[in-house]
Amino acid sequence: MAKLKKAQMAELIKKMGELYPEAECALVHDNPFQLLIAVVLSAQTTDKSVNKVTPILFSRYPDAASLASANQEELEEILKPIGMYRTKAKNIIALSRMLVEEHEGRVPGDYGQLTKLPGVGRKTANVVLAVGFGEPRIAVDTHVFRLANRIGLTAEKNVLNTELALMKAIPKEHWIMMHHALIWHGRRVCTARNPKCDECGIYGLCCRNGLEAKS
């Protein structure tokens, strides 16, 4: 699997910043609590789908205290449009209870504490820390994993190794920007199937790993 050289990496980072200066988290939220819940709900579904249910969810359960005491069946009805709604309803009630019992209802800005919450894994914690607290992190979702290895930022076979490799390859001050930019590029141009290479602003820098040579 081909990888970009250091100079190419620097040029790519600069170009991604220019292509997607407005790139940000697509999940609609007003505070770290809403962000945490939205990210947990986004597993195995799209941000667009989550954004359709969270307005109703947060109007009824605006904070950890109210969600901690929610009726699970009523919560499941709200979450039905998204995948794994039963498991997600159970998890967000449980994590809300833990927030109330152990963190005074507030979302902790600490990776170790976040990953102790039900339904919160490495990616979710990284997103919350980066978006909710401004802490430099690279959260690797399906888009970031695909693009990092396709473009040649990394040459890894799993999410964890891809995250660690990206942290070494990309200067820390660009971690958050590159996370968002790679997601936006993956959704708009570098899709899983039939990527729009003719429309790609970084085509000249891309290793195109896993893709047939362009005719």
Catalytic residue from among 141, 168, 198, 214: 141
Shared domain check, 156 and 70: no
Tokens describing residue 86: 């039963």
Shared domain check, 188 and 164: yes
* pLDDT at site 213: 54
Looking at the structure of the chain, the number of domains it has is 2
Counting beta carbons within 10 angstroms of the beta carbon of residue 178, is it exposed (0 to 12), middle (13 to 18) or buried (19 or more)?
buried
* pLDDT at site 214: 45
Residue 118 included in any domain: yes
Shared domain check, 171 and 83: no
- Rg (the chain; Cα; Å): 18
141 is known as an active-site residue: yes
**Residue after which a domain boundary falls, among 83, 106, 133:** 133
Shared domain check, 109 and 194: no
Residue 13 included in any domain: yes
List per-residue pLDDT tens for the chain, 215 residues long. Answer: 899 999 999 999 999 999 999 999 999 999 999 999 999 999 999 999 999 999 999 999 999 999 999 999 999 999 999 989 999 999 999 999 999 999 999 999 999 999 999 999 999 999 999 999 999 999 999 999 999 999 999 999 999 999 999 999 999 999 999 999 999 999 999 999 999 999 999 999 999 999 865 43
123 is known as an active-site residue: yes
Shared domain check, 91 and 19: no
Catalytic residue from among 88, 123, 168, 198: 123
CATH number at residue 166: 1.10.1670.10
CATH number at residue 79: 1.10.340.30
Domain of residue 14: give its range: 6-23+138-205
Shared domain check, 63 and 19: no
* pLDDT at site 42: 96
CB under 8 Å to 125, separation ≥6 — which residues?
111, 114, 115
* pLDDT at site 24: 96
Round to the nearest angstrom and report the end-to-end CA distance of the chain: 20
